[in-house]
Amino acid sequence: MTEPKAAAQTPGHALVTGGAGFIGSHLVDGLLADGWTVTVVDNFDPYYAESTKRLNIAQHLDQRNYRLLQVDLRDAAALHAALDQPFGGADKTGYTVIVHLAAKAGVRNSLLDPLGYQMTNVIGTQNLLTYAYQRKIKQFVFASSSSVYGDCPRLPWSENDLDLLPINPYASTKLAGEHLGYVYSRTFGLRFVGLRFFTVFGERQRPDLAIHKFSRLMLAGKAIPVYGDGSSERDFTYWDEIVSGVRASMAYTGSDYEIFNLGNNRTIGLLDTIRKLEDVLNVKAKIDWQDWQPGEMRRTWANIEKPQRLLGYRVKTDFDTGLRRFAAWLQERLRLEGGKAG
């Protein structure tokens, strides 16, 4: 079998939504380093602190090829007007590719605000697809989620499974985004690459996600909430693999619609995760046992044969290494924040 070539794409102008967030800011770091012009759309959604996102992007702001459009995806007129503003000279006004990462993320919060999730994740995605079609931007990469698999019993989860039944509002908005993408590829000529990310971790991880949330509580000497009997498992994926998968998808031309799992193909139990956190943080966890939460997934596990074959996707960073890097980053973040963990 011939190895797919790693994406060596000529730098163009990337439109990155959600570029102030965890994954988006890492992607933008790499794009700017490789000579891309980057326009970021981000409204600094209050799901977590704006100051955290400002720290994520501090190194981008003085770069000549970078601009930040603080605009809300839900407002089609404002979004389209902002995106139409030329940037970087006549040769740089058109976008080569859209990477749509902006979303209301987080399963638990989606149970509290299902309409808010629909508005940003479905209407917002629709507004961006409309813009891509009107401006003839061919390549559209979309951040979907492992959560679309719901309770799918056929593990590890494969993109060939089409009868998916999500079990929380967040997941249903992500599946809706994939379906909208299919419409735009099949009927309007876009190339849509949907990427199902599996629990992403590492430096700058969202503060609501377990590793980050637990670490802060543990360092503050507080108890960590564990739902159910602690037997849930996650296929944790280090951010760098996700960014590599996104970059390969930006250059992908093999078909006009494709869905890929971006995961690790290895699951880790919640209690094991806590034990490993105790090691890297050098602190003992206190556990606050709570009832199982509706809408939560018991296990996520990615089959990654397809992205390996078609995108040249490779897992390079093991969980322990990623966790050590996260812990070192968190210590530095806490110092910048004035030392208060919890």
Ligand X SMILES: NC(=O)c1ccc[n+]([C@@H]2O[C@H](COP(=O)([O-])OP(=O)(O)OC[C@H]3O[C@@H](n4cnc5c(N)ncnc54)[C@H](O)[C@@H]3O)[C@@H](O)[C@H]2O)c1
Catalytic residues: 170
Burial class (CB in 10 A: 0-12, 13-18, 19+), 254: exposed
Which residue, 96 or 199, has its beta carbon nearer to ligand X? 199
CB of 124 to ligand X, least distance (A): 5
CB of 26 to ligand X, least distance (A): 8
Which residue, 10 or 235, has its beta carbon nearer to ligand X? 235
Burial class (CB in 10 A: 0-12, 13-18, 19+), 296: middle
Residues 41-70 that bind ligand X (CB under 6 A): 41-45, 53
Q: Decide: helix, strand or coil at residue 177.
A: helix
CB of 90 to ligand X, least distance (A): 27
Q: How many residues bind ligand X (CB under 6 A)?
A: 29
Report the residue number whose CB is nearest to ligand X. 21
Residues 118-177 that bind ligand X (CB under 6 A): 120, 124, 143, 145
State yes or no: residue 103 binds ligand X (CB under 6 A): yes
CB of 227 to ligand X, least distance (A): 17
CB of 48 to ligand X, least distance (A): 7
Element holding 108 (H helix, E strand): helix 107-112
State yes or no: residue 24 binds ligand X (CB under 6 A): yes
Among 95, 140, 197, 313, binds ligand X (CB under 6 A): 197
Among 105, 129, 148, 285, binds ligand X (CB under 6 A): 105
Closest CA to 178 of 240, 248, 258: 258
Q: Decide: helix, strand or coil at residue 15.
A: strand
Q: Which two tokens stand for residue 269?
A: 């139990």
Among 15, 32, 40, 73, binds ligand X (CB under 6 A): 73
Q: Which two tokens stand for residue 217?
A: 């509580």
Across-strand partners of 200? Answer: 237
Residues 203-262 that bind ligand X (CB under 6 A): 206
Alpha carbons 274 and 198: distance in angstroms, whole number = 18
Cα diameter, the chain: 59
Q: Are 177 and 122 in contact (CB under 8 A)?
A: yes
Closest CA to 107 of 152, 58, 170, 62: 170
State yes or no: residue 22 binds ligand X (CB under 6 A): yes
Chain residues binding ligand X by CB under 6 A are 17-18, 20-24, 41-45, 53, 72-74, 101-105, 120, 124, 143, 145, 197, 199-200, 206
